[in-house]
A and B are shown apart, each in its own frame.
Chain A
Amino acid sequence: GAGVSQSPSNKVTEKGKDVELRCDPISGHTALYWYRQSLGQGLEFLIYFQGNSAPDKSGLPSDRFSAERTGGSVSTLTIQRTQQEDSAVYLCASSPAGGPYGYTFGSGTRLTVV
């Protein structure tokens, strides 16, 4: 696609429920990144994919978080048993390849856990 597409744009969920966030990167971009941004805070790096592989998952905040990417394209970030501290904007970005390239971000998913 022309840009990075994320869905849903907004998600309100009850504490304890599971949520799945989706990212569709720019066509041909092999590198995909997930960040989150809490209100008034900076961006927190979560995980990246080179192709379908995620070499380092240590940025994920807890074992309730998981991510996968299939076909070198769409990625999903899943949060199990959501907690209120998971409330944030989850941003996905892609770039042509690993290395010194700037990223293009999607418009994010605003997650609110009530």
Chain B
Amino acid sequence: RKEVEQDPGPFNVPEGATVAFNCTYSNSASQSFFWYRQDCRKEPKLLMSVYSSGNEDGRFTAQLNRASQYISLLIRDSKLSDSATYLCVVNPGGGADGLTFGKGTHLIIQP
């Protein structure tokens, strides 16, 4: 089983719509969780951390379900500039031994 699994998409969504995607992780001892955004031919950039109680940053909401071992990202009122690949990221050991990245979900916002 892959450590972090995501639906690769692409998700084609009209501008202004709400879109959500999930990822699952295999290591139940994982300590910290993140969503990164990666634009084409660019480096990944941290979008937001994911906290157990759920957290919101503007139009973005992240949720963590430890019992089911999945993480979600919700984007409201989507913009054309939201088009990117969204990477689900898990720190399996809680230490400095390398975050584990999912392969990403490709999102295309259409005008």
Contact = CB atoms under 8 A, between A and B. Distances in A.
A41 B49 CA distance: 23
Interface residues of A, number: 25
B43 A108 contact: yes
Nearest to A32: B96
A79 B95 CA distance: 27
Contacts of B87: 42-43
Contacts, number: 54
Contacts of B99: 33, 45, 103
Given A41-B103, A100-B32, A100-B91, A105 B97 contact: no
A13 interface: no
Given A91-B43, A100-B32, A103-B46, A43 B101 contact: yes
Nearest to A95: B96
A41 B31 CA distance: 25
B10 interface: no
B43 A107 contact: yes
Interface stretch (A14-22, A48-56, A70-78): A48-56
A22 to B, nearest CB: 15
Interface string B1-43: 0000000000000000000000000000001101010000011
B103 A45 contact: no
Interface of B: 31-32, 34, 36, 42-46, 49, 87, 89, 91, 94-104
Interface of A: 31, 33, 35, 41-43, 45, 48, 50, 55-56, 59, 91, 95, 97-100, 102-108
7 contacts: A42-B104, A45-B98, A48-B96, A99-B96, A100-B32, A100-B94, A102-B49
